[in-house]
Copies of this chain bind each other. A is one copy, B any other.
Amino acid sequence: MAIIVNKEEKRRHIALACRELLLEYGINSLTISHIAQTAGVGKGTIYEYFENKEDIVFEIITTFIADHEKKLLERVAGSDSARQKLFHFLNMLFEEGDAHKHLKVYKEFLAISLMGESKEMLAFSLQCRQRFMAILDTVLHEAKTLGQIISPEALCANSFAVFATGLVVDSRLEGFHVQHEINLFLNSIMTMNEKQSIKKESK
């Protein structure tokens, strides 16, 4: 194992060691004891590098978000139509595979955040949201430039983000079919633009 040179690096080291742990146990059932054990350090040591439990959970989640972001950018780059890009944006959390584990953690995170007992939690939420809003903005502006949509205002990134949040929350309900809802929403919002983008695609 490489010698840890600075605090920031050790933070990442510990966080990376506990990714699987968080996915398996979820936020609430994750204990500092278990984290310390898994990271191979003492409980006290955790508090040398993190303020509190929230802090370390944030750090772990940050690594997931980085992954998610990277994967999303790949999908976006690999998509031609704006519709497809936006579909990936909404659908990525609900894909087959390990995504449900991440979704579970995300829901738990939202839950804690909704309890509204922590300033830091809210700040972190905001920061995450903004990173994805940036991607969304880029997608919409490019679509505008390419003429795939008429005006970005008509498909405001904020509305999209709100809808995405709603999807995550409502997906907890029995009988809620995420993909179906995503398609309906995209249909509603892109009706007019779709024809144009299809024209372009069919060239």
Contacts and interface: CB of A to CB of B under 8 A. Distances in A.
Interface residues of A, number: 46
Given A172-B113, A175-B126, A162 B191 contact: no
Contacts of A162: 163, 166-167, 170, 181, 185
A163 to B, nearest CB: 5
12 contacts: A28-B115, A104-B116, A110-B169, A111-B112, A113-B172, A114-B114, A126-B173, A153-B187, A159-B184, A162-B167, A166-B166, A192-B192
A122 B163 CA distance: 20
Interface string A179-193: 001001101110110
Interface in A139-165: 153-156, 158-159, 161-165
Interface of A: 2, 28, 42, 44, 104, 107-108, 110-116, 122-123, 125-126, 129, 153-156, 158-159, 161-167, 169-170, 172-175, 181, 184-185, 187-189, 191-192
